[in-house]
Amino acid sequence: MTIEDLLKVRLKAIQAKHNFNPNLGATQVRTAPPKIRETYAAFRELVCIAKASGLEIPYSPSGAQEDTRHEVVSKSEFVYLLHRKGTNECKIGYSTDLTKRLSALNTGNGGSLAIVAQAPGGRDLEQAIHRHLEPLKIPGRHKEWFYLDDSLRKEVARKMCEGIEAFTGTLEPPRTSSPSPGKSFGEG
């Protein structure tokens, strides 16, 4: 059994009982008993690993079994990494309602944006990531858009789970002045 298989099995087991929303933070379990909060903490760690590995997170909007449901109290801020399908264009921002934000952004982008990663955090984490990725910023676009190839998307997703400390300094300047269509800096 691979690590990915073990991860899927563990996430499926947690979600079968609790059905935590992977798009919301710990506030969804703030009033829950300590055991559920501990399970949620383990769930969040697994979600970060799964998203960095490109695995889907099991979640049913219809909710968990009645006796294990927990109340969502409020929403926290999340930093997100979105990818425009078919390109290397990515947006990094923050929101308190990622589902609503993605819907609004997709309206203006032909529905081509997909969530690559999300992590608890607000403007401070978002700005640290922006500074770190400054050399990869898309010229002429809003400051939140960057050229990130698949490996850089995975690296940013992993670092988002580690927190603000993972984004010190900036990346090395790109080897080319601008990427070819569909390519990222450094891909020629």
Name every residue whose Cβ is closer than 8 Å to that of residue 108 and which is 6 or more positions away in sequence: none
Q: In what order do the strands lie in the sheet with 78-84?
A: 113-120, 78-84, 89-95, 145-147
Greatest distance between any 2 Cα atoms in the chain = 57
Dihedral sign for Cα atoms in the order 120, 13, 71, 82: positive
| Reported pTM | 0.56
Same domain? For 82 and 63 the reply is: no
Same domain? For 104 and 30 the reply is: no
**Does some domain include residue 58?**
yes
> What is the count of structural domains for the chain?
2
The whole domain housing 95 covers 78-167
**Does some domain include residue 177?**
no
Pairing of strands 113-120, 89-95: unpaired
Same domain? For 118 and 56 the reply is: no
pLDDT per residue, tens digit, the chain (188 aa), is 787 888 888 887 887 777 777 766 666 676 777 788 788 888 888 887 777 777 777 666 544 444 444 433 334 778 899 999 899 999 999 888 877 888 888 887 766 888 888 888 888 889 999 999 999 999 987 789 999 999 999 999 888 887 788 888 777 655 544 454 454 444 43
